[in-house]
């Protein structure tokens, strides 16, 4: 199986795109980027040089993933979410320093959320739409607001399992998931 790209998409020579990945209208994948298998890059997505996207990542429309960002497997990036990569941006500067950002496996970032560089979004965490993440988000933590703050703990399916400040012992011990038909 191979990957597919819309005729208006640009996938530069030297980019690596995994089997079964779809690159949609006006998307741009730079040389040196690594996009995993089974991904979907929506309309107007930009994947910068040296960015790593894991397998089965869904990048919705109008998302730019800049140099210094690493995305794990099974991550959802909502429409128009934003990643930064320089803590001290200046138009007049002749150099800049990339500050790495990591999004771990299974995490979800809502529409129009901003992820300030230097942060880690933990596995299966959720960032609510419109939130501004300025510090690390723990695995299974749901954060919201500006700046983003703790709201709850979620299972792998995204159901709230606790609103306590302390992480649950087993965040995947979810009453709603036990009731869902398999």
Q: Do the Cβ atoms of 84 and 119 come closer than 8 Å?
A: no
Give residue 182's pLDDT.
58
Cα angle vertex 30, ends 119, 15, to 5°?
A: 105
The segments of the chain whose pLDDT lies below 70 read 1, 180-182
Count other Cβ atoms within 10 Å, centred on residue 127: 26
Distance of CA 106 to CAs 9, 72, 77, 93, 174, Å? 26, 7, 11, 36, 17
Q: Do the Cβ atoms of 153 and 171 come closer than 8 Å?
A: yes
φ/ψ of residue 178, rounded to 5:
-65, -25
Peptide bond preceding 147 in cis form (omega within 30 of 0): yes
Give residue 41's pLDDT.
98
Give residue 15's pLDDT.
98
Give residue 1's pLDDT.
66
Q: Tokens 């500067």 — which residue?
A: 93
């Amino acid at each position: 199986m191979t990957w597919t790209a819309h005729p208006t998409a640009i996938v530069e020579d030297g980019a690596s795109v995994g089997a079964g990945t779809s690159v949609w209208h006006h998307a741009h994948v730079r040389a040196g980027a690594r996009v995993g298998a089974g991904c979907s890059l929506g309309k107007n997505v930009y994947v910068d040089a040296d960015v790593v996207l894991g397998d089965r990542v869904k990048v919705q429309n109008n998302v730019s993933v800049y140099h210094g960002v690493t995305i794990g497997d099974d991550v959802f990036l909502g429409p128009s979410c934003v990643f930064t990569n320089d803590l001290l941006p200046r138009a007049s500067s002749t150099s800049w320093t990339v500050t790495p950002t990591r999004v771990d496996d299974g995490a979800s970032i809502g529409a129009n959320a901003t992820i300030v560089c230097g942060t880690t979004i933990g596995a299966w965490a959720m960032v609510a739409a419109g939130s501004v993440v300025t510090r690390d988000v723990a695995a299974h933590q749901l954060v919201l607001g500006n700046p983003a703050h703790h709201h709850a703990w979620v299972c792998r399916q995204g159901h709230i399992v606790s609103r306590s400040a302390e992480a649950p012992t087993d965040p995947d011990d979810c009453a709603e998931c036990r009731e869902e038909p398999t």
